[in-house]
Structure 1
């Protein structure tokens, strides 16, 4: 599998694999992100079958064994399927996640005990600083959460802004229309009264880069993008409720 590497912010690398068979003819990308710091962090591990290709791509940036942290949005194979393979390859690595995920899944699934981060808790990686944000059921799964890298203003959005196709690694064009079209195709988001408010809370971070799991990343006014996405989901919820 071809894994393409791009630096989307200072010291933050996107590893992207394109799968044309998913959502054909547009295809679908699976992205993992490396935060290069004194304590390197990988956000999204990818599924088990992608491990060899993704780890080889990462090894061109820094040794896999030097990884200190693994994290992801929620417990799902494309988010954390290869988690234990990474833990085996990086003897000092530990999973980071919110309390809910650790309680219901990761205390059992991870080969080493995970590190729990409280909502809003920050962690200094050495040159980079992340903040954990609980986002239950947004976009889906009770244990969902995201990280915000404060020094570069990068929000790792997980499945938010998911869109099909094989676009540029980083764009200044809005992702909202493409995300709405893909949501109409997959219906993957949990529509609840808290969906839009949770996304608006993320907008308060004023991110400069949105690191998207499926599709292109965005550089620019991240708060405006998140507010527009929240508007879309608020309208979708109100339509469904009616």
Structure 2
């Protein structure tokens, strides 16, 4: 499993590992996102067994020991499995997550105490970058789920939203909603709940310029429209259920 690293926006890097034997024949990608600044931030840690490759990829851009913030969408192995490995190689790093995630899991799981974030709270990364934390409970799954929005570039770090199969391009302006619907039909991984559509529409209200997908290509285009279409699909699924 080789991890590649590509810049998808100013000082925003996508670290991507393709695994062919997950959901063959298409396979599956696992992506992390590195935001450079005075206090660099990593969104998603990757699985523990992927850590050596991801660490080596990051080292091509910056010294991993400089990492300051470790973040992710929810508590799941591919999102935070290597959390403590990163804490060990980056002495100043701290996990930052929503209050629910910290209280329920991370106060115990993390080798150093995490920083709990309130909905809407921001972290200033320096060099013009600021990320705001957004509570998204049960969207797409996990009571403690939450996302991050980088304000200066308009980049929404989407976690498992828009999950799709395959190993496509790094960045696309094509359809990401259709492939996400197909993946949901296959995996049934989302936690359907009455607030799902409203939660995703709240993300659309941010008018993001870029969507950084954990499983799939990053997207530049009418991101708000893509989010609204995804919300509508979940509305239909909930109605049918």
> Which TM-score bucket, shorter chain as reference?
over 0.9
The equivalent of 1:219 in structure 2 is 220
Aligned counterpart, 1:13: 13
Rounded Cα–Cα distance in structure 2 between residues aligned with 1:175 and 1:42 = 23
Residue 168 of structure 1 corresponds to which residue in structure 2? 169
Structure 2 residue aligned with 1:87: 87
Q: Distance in 1 between matches of 2:75 and 2:50?
A: 17
Deviations 1:197-238 (CA, angstroms, capped at 9, x unpaired): 100000001111100000111001111110010011001111
**By how many angstroms is 1:5 displaced?**
1.0
Structure 2: distance between partners of 1:194 and 1:159: 17
CA–CA separation in structure 2 for the residues paired with 1:27 and 1:54: 19
Q: What is the rounded CA distance, in whole Å, between the counterparts of 1:188 and 1:36 in structure 2?
A: 31
- Inter-partner Cα distance in structure 1 for 2:235 and 2:8: 29
Match for residue 34 of structure 1? 34
Alpha-carbon RMSD across the aligned residues, in angstroms, is: 0.5
Partner of 1:186: 187
Query: What residue number does 2:44 align with?
Result: 44
Deviation at 1:66, TM superposition (A): 0.1
Map Cα deviations across residues 52-90 of structure 1 (whole Å, 9 max, x no partner): 000000001000100000000000000000000000000
Aligned length: 240
Query: Counterpart in 2 of 1:61?
Result: 61
**Which residue number corresponds to residue 106 of structure 1?**
106
Partner of 1:116: 116
Flag structure 2 segments of 5+ consecutive residues without an equivalent: none
Aligned equivalents of 1:178 and 1:132: distance in 2? 27
> Which ranges of 4 or more aligned residues in structure 1 deviate by more than 3 Å?
none
SS at match of 2:158: strand
Partner SS for 1:202:
helix
- Deviation at residue 151 of structure 1 after TM alignment: 0.5
Secondary structure of the residue aligned to 2:126 is coil
Aligned to 1:125, the other structure's residue is in SS state: strand
Aligned twin of 1:237: 238
Q: Distance in 2 between matches of 1:2 and 1:170?
A: 18
Per-residue Cα deviation, 1:22-68 (whole angstroms, up to 9, x for no partner): 11000000000000111000000001000000000000100010000
Aligned mates of 1:123, 1:4 — CA distance in 2: 27
Instruction: Measure the CA separation in 2 of the matches of 1:6 and 1:23.
Output: 24
TM-score, with structure 2 as normaliser? 0.99
Q: Scaled by the length of structure 1, what TM-score is found?
A: 0.98
